[in-house]
Amino acid sequence: MTTHQTPLLTVENVVKHFDISGGFLDQLAFKGGIHLEKTTVKAVNNVSLFVNKGETLSVVGESGCGKSTLARVILGLYRPNSGKIFYDGQRIDHLSHEQWLPYRRKMQMIFQDPYASLNPRKTVRQTLEEPLRFHNPKMTAQEAVDKVAYVMEQVGVDPAWIGRYPHEFSGGQRQRISIARGLILDPNFIVADEPVSALDVSIQAQILNLLMDLREKHDLTYLFITHDLSVVRHISSRVAVLYLGTVCELASAKDLFESPRHPYTRALLSAIPRIGEKKAKHIKLKGEVPTPVNLPSGCVFHGRCVYARDRCRKEFPRFNELSNSTFVSCHGVEEGWDLG
């Protein structure tokens, strides 16, 4: 993959499969004799992408497309089955717990559910001080409290509430506290996993504005995981569209929304309900979404694609770079078929 600058994060051919076959007894199968059968969820299949410093790369896709797994593989919560991940030029995917620690300060995460992401038995102070004290054992109590108060102010939570428990806050405020925890170690890179999808519209706007402000102030780089395309368009500089664990299209937000190339991207974009547009024409997809347990052969999208030809059923399309640093994996785009 050619890039114009050294990316902050590079993901190369990452594969993550989960074995869900359970114990020995669950694996027994009696089809044509007795043998053991493994069931694997193929969550992430050969994903490559990069995130440049200071940009927001959004990973979009529908439920079950592997976007959350990808986020967790990048942060080392799951170890990839194969592939490499580089942060600032250093390979990080194979590190041990101790070797990961310096990167933990630089790479942080914001979660989806503001009700599950804060430990209900810990006060705001305990939640925010813990990472600080753990990574800076020499820090004095006063320094820690000052830092916590500073970050709370940054995310718009009154530092006077430092002693409160999560249940005393509203969903929006909890999400601010969750963001504060992500920021407290002064990271450079933040993975945000659906940070606004559990929030009401007016609160969602507050949090999106906050995230954009923080990016300016703290010079952050975001990997933004979401299913909401209008949020994607608003916040990102580049977008990767994921379908069944495979990147269909990777392009700048402007290019992607103005001239989507991959048939799936087009269908997805046409389905966004836009306010005030009466009776928008949706591109209808055929068939059912396959499960990541039984991946289709060839192009993973061929079963739902109206343009699919024989080659799509047999051969996995390459992830090609087009003219303007847009990457598309589609035989039709590569060969210039008439895609409507």
Partner 1 sequence: MKTKLQQFTESYFLYSFRRDMVAMASFAVLVIFLFIAFAAPWISPMNPYDSVNIDIMNSEIPPMWMDGGSKEFPLGTDNQGRDMLSTMFYGLRTSIIIGLGAVAIQAAIGVVLGLMAGYLGGKTDAILMRLADIQFSFPYLMVAIFMSAIFQVVFGAGSFEQMAIPLLTIIIGLSNWPMFARTIRASVMGEKNKEYVEAARVIGLPQRIIMFRHILPNALTSVMVISTIQVANAVMSEAALSFLGLGMPVTKPSLGSLIRAGQEFFFSGSWWITVLPGLWLVLFVLVINLLGDWLRDVLNPKLYKG
Partner 2 sequence: MSHLLEVRDLEVKFALRSGDITAIDGVSFNLDPGERLGIVGESGAGKSVTGFAIINLISKPGYISRGSIYFEGNEISAYSLARMRKIRGNRISMIFQDPMMTLNPVYTIGFQMIETLQAHRNISKTQARAIALDKLKKVYIPSPEKRLSQYPHELSGGMRQRIIIAISLLADPAIIIADEPTTALDVTIQAEIMDLLQELCERDRMGLILITHDLGVVSQVTEKIAVMYAGKIIEYGPTETVVHHPVHPYTIGLIGSIPGSIEPGKDLKQIPGMMPTLTNIPPGCAFNPRCELAADICTKKTPVFEEKQNGIMAACHMK
Which chain residues interact with partner 1 by CB under 8 A?
23, 72, 75, 77, 97, 100-101, 104, 107-109, 111-113, 116-121, 130-131, 134-135, 163-164, 178, 181, 185
- H/E element, 213: helix 201-218
19 forms beta bridges with 40
Q: Does 132 bind partner 2 (CB under 8 A)?
A: no
Q: Which of 212, 295, 322, 339 binds partner 2 (CB under 8 A)?
A: 212
The nearest distance, CB 224 to partner 2, in angstroms, is 12
82 binds, among partner 2, partner 1, none (CB under 5 to 8 A by kind): none
- Residue in the block written with tokens 């569209």: 241
Please identify which residue in 72, 133, 233, 311 interacts with partner 2, judged by CB under 8 A.
233
Work out which of 35, 79, 217, 284 binds partner 2, going by CB under 8 A: 284
Report, in angstroms and rounded to the nearest whole number, the Rg of the chain calculated over CA atoms: 22
Q: Does 231 bind partner 2 (CB under 8 A)?
A: yes
Q: Is 276 in the site for partner 2 (CB under 8 A)?
A: yes
Q: Are 159 and 190 in contact (CB under 8 A)?
A: no
What DSSP designation does 232 have? H
Q: Which of 11, 71, 109, 268 binds partner 2 (CB under 8 A)?
A: 268
Nearest-angstrom CA–CA distance, 320 and 308: 18
User: Using the rule CB under 8 A, is 340 a contact of partner 2?
Assistant: no
Cα separation, 50 vs 86, whole angstroms: 9
89 near partner 2, rule: CB under 8 A? no
What residues does 49 pair with on adjacent strands?
11
Q: Which helix (H) or strand (E) holds 10?
A: strand 9-19
3-state secondary structure of 175: helix
Written as six digits, the tokens of 271 are 């389905």
Q: Which secondary structure element, helix H or strand E, spans residue 124, and what is its range? A: helix 124-135
Residue from 14, 85, 244, 253 touching partner 2 (CB under 8 A): that is 253
Quickly count helices (H) and strands (E) in the chain: 12, 14
**Of 56 and 112, CB closest to partner 1:** 112
306 binds partner 2 (CB under 8 A): no
Least Cβ distance, residue 126 to partner 1 (angstroms): 9
- The stretch among 1-9, 97-105, 273-281, 295-303 that binds partner 2 (CB under 8 A) is 273-281
Helix/strand/coil percentages in the chain, nearest 5: 35, 20, 45
Residue 97 interaction partner, one of partner 1, partner 2, none, beta carbon < 5-8 Å per kind:
partner 1
Compare residues 83 and 156 and give the one whose CB is closer to partner 2. 156
Distance (Å, whole) CA 140 – CA 148? 12
Contacts with partner 2, residue ranges (CB under 8 A): 62-63, 170, 172, 200-206, 208-209, 212, 227-231, 233-235, 253, 267-268, 270-280, 282, 284-285, 288-289
